[in-house]
A and B are shown apart, each in its own frame.
Chain A
């Protein structure tokens, strides 16, 4: 196997809160190959977005920091890179799109100006050339009548169109990695289908690797090859998407799949009660303790889970589960 494009090893990100320092990411390792698509899955507060911000060097200043571990991108260490270097990497090599396309676009500039700005900053294009590229990019993300719409302000566009503009901005410099943080959560399902279709298309055309953050297992099944199930800042389970959906090896992944009423190929009269994952994600104070943090919500919990943090157990097909009872799940 060739060297991965992105290699995160034993990453620990600490956040300073009123109650002290909490490890919001605790010993996380994963790899991303060129052109691959992976998904981070988990509930809010599990550290999915924090991991993405860590990779982008966008952790909240003075509050969050990479405490230890490494983020290696194409041979370069990002966790210690200077701010100047990170500015070059962001946009050029790694881009990100966010959940809320209204708040991530500037309301007082036209969408054309916002796309052109990226090209001028990163690729030193002339004003005219950047504008021409902006039109091409809008066309590429399938905004009808790009020639005219390029002069629109964000408020003149629908939610789906704004997210397309964000994708155009993110892909303007042909990055090697695109991080999509809940890109369709604010959108309707038919628009979501359009955006997924577009992302897959763009991935084929540009060869970019995609990291998609989501809580929707259906979306994961649709979009990703591998997934990382995160819980309380830790890796709960990693592996190929189909394999985990078929046979999860961590009670949390199992719960996440079973607690959602999915639409199946053929619907029957029968409606089972949904499997509940009781309780909620622990508070930051609990993070970093030497025990299984899922134990309080787990139906397989034993004394061992409360005494010691479970190690990652490997299964065939590069599936890994951090659970003392992984074999029995």
Chain B
């Protein structure tokens, strides 16, 4: 448990593995470590983002925090209780404190249930309060997310993508959670609608004092929404820093390459930014290299990177990086 009362969510050594295949009838089972020993903390009212590309383990990590997939080991401490060890009724009640917003507003809403019931369902499940009170909460939630009261009786297909995501947000808010996990909440939406949802999320964060765990591959969105960023690559955290440090002084070669790959409308950035192309594809997750997982694509890898796995090291205040080539001077090997 974290000693800092400011910390709402404290994740330690979280590991998720999936059994994938056996080599023959009596062979050893093989495991894919989708999330490999990651730790991070989120302070109350703040937003932490996990970024990474497909296969990095960012979504699995979020699902494990919410116990939507089973963690193999580690602890998820939410406001003083280890969420991963709770059972039955305790878990059911504790879930009210941690809610989820999903990526796809089309498949995450039941098409046969009216909007008001979708939003009310978490309350019904928890049997909290009288029925009329629950309806009152639903009315308030519809207003808070910018939907009209008369839209409560509609079915999901009668809403646009952005409006559906608003329903998803209202549902997540229903139980008055402390933490909301947003898994790519705007990736399925058109750019103009994205802005509406992002502004709404930030407004709700201030109004309700929410803490966000934000999963995204879009670094522009992350830059706008988050206070702290965790960069994942192949199940490992490669860099962990506050917003300004990460974007203005990225240290890990992967982070540097990732940031340099984002196309920008800013003329100055395009002129100054040297694009670092990382060749090839990530390694096979079932056959990971012994050393650094990024070594085969890293433009500055040395022999040690291939044999020894780097550990996460704090090189500046609030700036951790897992790279053999970065030391306390906090200078990226690519600069």
Contacts of A280 in B (CB 8 A): 160, 162, 190, 192-193
Q: Are B220 and A260 in contact (CB under 8 A)?
A: yes
Interface of A is mostly: loop
**In-complex Cβ contact of B190 among A43, A189, A196, A266 (8 A):** A43
- Answer yes or no: A2 CB below 8 A from chain B CBs: no
Q: Is the CB of A190 within 8 A of B194?
A: no
- With contacts A43-B190, A158-B281, A221-B270 taken as known, whether A263 is within 8 angstroms of B275 at the C-beta atoms is no
Interface size on B, residues (CB 8 A): 47
Within 8 Å CB of B260, what residues of A?
193
B223 touches A276 (CB 8 A): no
Query: CB distance B264 to A256 under 8 Å?
Result: no
Interface-forming stretch among B13-21, B27-35, B107-115, B195-203?
A: B195-203
* Residues on A with beta carbons closer than 8 Å to the beta carbon of B225: 261
Q: Which residues of B contact A277 (CB under 8 A)?
A: 192, 195
Contact B191 A245 (CB under 8 A): no
> B265's contact among A196, A255, A257, A267, by CB below 8 Å, is which?
A257
Q: Are A263 and B264 in contact (CB under 8 A)?
A: yes
Cα-based distance from A278 to B202 in the complex (angstroms): 17
- Say whether B198 contacts A261, CB under 8 Å: yes
- A274, B248: Cα distance in complex, Å: 21
Asked if A215 meets B190 with Cβ closer than 8 Å, knowing A144-B280, A267-B244, the reply is yes
Q: Is the CB of B269 within 8 A of A193?
A: no
* CB neighbours of B267 from chain A (8 A): 242, 245
Closest to B56 in A: A188
- Please, which residues of chain A bring their CB within 8 A of the CB of B236? none
Q: A144-161 interface mask toward B, CB cutoff 8 Å, 1 = contact, 0 = none?
A: 100000000000001111
Q: Return chain A residues, CB-CB under 8 Å to B219.
A: 189, 263
B300 to chain A, nearest CB (A): 16
Contact flags B221-260 to A (C-beta < 8 A → 1, else 0): 1011100000000000000000110011000000001111
Interface residues of A (CB under 8 A from B): 43-44, 144, 158-161, 188-194, 196-197, 215-219, 221-223, 242, 245, 255-257, 259-269, 271, 273-278, 280-281
The 7 closest A-B pairs by CB, nearest first: A261-B224, A218-B263, A193-B261, A259-B195, A188-B53, A277-B192, A274-B195
Known: A259-B194, A277-B195. 7 other contacts (CB 8 A): A159-B54, A218-B220, A259-B195, A261-B223, A261-B224, A263-B262, A276-B199
